[in-house]
Amino acid sequence: MTDAVQTPSLDNFTKRVFSGIQPSGGLTLGNYLGAVKRFVEMQNDDFETIYCVVDQHAITVWQNPEDLRFRTREIAAFFMASGLDPSKSILFNQSAVPEHAQLGWIFNCVARMGWMQRMTQFKDKAGKNAQNASLGLFGYPALMAADILVYHATHVPVGDDQKQHLELTRDIAIKFNHDYGVDFFPVTEPVIGGPAARVMSLRDGSKKMSKSDPSDLSRINMSDDADTIAKKLRKAKTDPDALPSEEVGLEGRPEARNLVAIYAALGEETVETVLRDVGGKQFSEFKPMLVERAVEKLSPISGEMNRLMQDGAEIDRVLKEGSLKARAIAEPILRKTYDIVGMLQP
């Protein structure tokens, strides 16, 4: 949008990852392969990693308070069960760090109505009755930008559906830097990709796998047991042809592509290497391989989630500790932002 403006190079910033998931119900295989599995991969010596349960984003649509508390802990359990280690990554919930909302207000004043009106997720979620959507749902991407930039995060791993929000985050950083004549906020790199950046519905290869799809057969839930996973994958829509041995052969075959991509992502392979092995096989042969791999990878995660959920106090302790570490980073960045903007801090 404002490419002509000089923006600070990411080299000047600590390499820091931020991402978040909403505690708004039902975790799917899409959340795991598109997001959390990649969060775990980035938890290494190259990056500082910060992962957040974004409860303030969740209430942009109605949430029952008891359910919200439960689901906030559930996402924290999902993070840990998937391999995020609280001694390596900062894990916390958004509302425990008020700096997000504080910077969010500043960004409400940086972002433009026209930018927000282009957000496809708002249009999808608000549906036909946009007049009745909350103001928070409309302003949501400015809070998301604040989540990221209050840590000066340089890299944000997300699924493909968040791409537009990350472009908006970049536009907000660029406009803030430009308006105030500073090189303060980094222009964050989205980390989107891999075979499962967009996991599709098991019933319709043209639709995203989503917790809100009315058909439970369309998705694998992280809470599904082995029998349910097997049943859903056996019933997954396919086509009558054998699998190709090269990627071009998946063109025009969205359901076949999706199942191969899921198989690849679960096994840390590329679609290309998978096809080299399974090319020529019928789905009747491939599906049992997929079931075996899915159950082998997913069952330990759901088992560990259940175990962690037995001890809510321990989850709260981890989140509390994470929020203190998060605030230690966010607070000075917010203070400096206030200073740049001209907010008197007597």
Asked if 31 touches ligand AMP (CB under 6 A), the answer is: yes
* Strand order across the 155-157 sheet: 89-93, 48-53, 16-21, 155-157, 189-191
Which x/- pattern, by CB under 6 A, does the window 182-201 give for ligand AMP? ---------------xxx--
Question: Quick one: DSSP state of residue 243?
Answer: P
Q: Any idea which residue has 């929020």 for tokens?
A: 323
What's phi and psi for 14, nearest 5 deg? -60, 140
Question: Which residue from 17, 18, 274, 323 is in contact with ligand TRP, where contact means CB under 6 A?
Answer: 18
Task: Give the span between the Cα atoms of 182 and 175, in whole angstroms.
Answer: 10
Minimum CB separation of residue 166 from ligand TRP in Å reads 8
Residue closer to ligand AMP, measured from CB, 34 or 337 = 34
CB-neighbour burial class of residue 346 (10 A; exposed 0-12, middle 13-18, buried 19+): exposed
Catalytic residue IDs: 125, 208, 211
Which spans in 37-89 are helix H? Answer: 37-41, 55-58, 65-82
Our CB check for ligand AMP shows the closer of 265 and 275 to be 265
Half-sphere exposure of 269 (CA within 13 A, CB side): 16
Rg (CA), the chain: 21
Q: Which is nearer to ligand TRP, 57 or 71 (CB)?
A: 57
Please work out the total of residues on this chain that contact ligand AMP, with binding judged by CB under 6 A: 15
The listed partner (ligand AMP, ligand TRP, none) that binds 198, CB under 5 to 8 Å by sort, is: ligand AMP
Give the CB-nearest residue to ligand AMP.
34
The type of residue at 196 is: A
First-last CA distance in the chain: 36
Least Å distance, CB 147 to ligand TRP, is 4
Q: Which residue from 208, 257, 287, 297 is in contact with ligand AMP, where contact means CB under 6 A?
A: 208
Q: Which residue is nearest to ligand TRP (CB)?
A: 20
Per-residue interface string for the shown chain with ligand TRP, residues 136-175, x marking contact by CB under 6 A: --------x--xx-------x-x---x--x----------
Q: Is 92 helix (H, G, I), strand (E, B) or coil?
A: strand
Distance between CA atoms of 60 and 56, rounded to whole angstroms? Answer: 7
Using the contact rule CB under 6 A, the part of the chain among 111-119, 139-147, 154-162, 269-277 near ligand AMP is 154-162
Query: Applying CB under 6 A, does 209 fall inside the site for ligand AMP?
Result: yes
Rounded distance, CA 39 to CA 47, Å?
11
Cα 83 from Cα 32, distance rounded (Å): 11
- Interacting span for ligand AMP (CB under 6 A) from 6-14, 27-35, 303-311, 322-330: 27-35
Q: Which of 16, 37, 38, 57 binds ligand TRP (CB under 6 A)?
A: 57
Query: Is residue 188 a contact residue for ligand TRP (CB under 6 A)?
Result: no
Q: Based on the shown chain and the rule CB under 6 A, indicate whether residue 19 belongs to the binding site for ligand TRP.
A: yes
Beta strand segments in 81-163, E: 89-93, 155-157
Two structure tokens written together for 113 = 């109505």
Q: Which of 86, 104, 139, 159 binds ligand AMP (CB under 6 A)?
A: 159
Count of CB atoms within 10 A of residue 33's CB?
25
Q: Which residues bind ligand AMP (CB under 6 A)?
A: 21-22, 30-31, 34-35, 158-159, 161-162, 197-199, 208-209
Q: Which residues bind ligand TRP (CB under 6 A)?
A: 18-20, 22, 54, 57, 144, 147-148, 156, 158, 162, 165
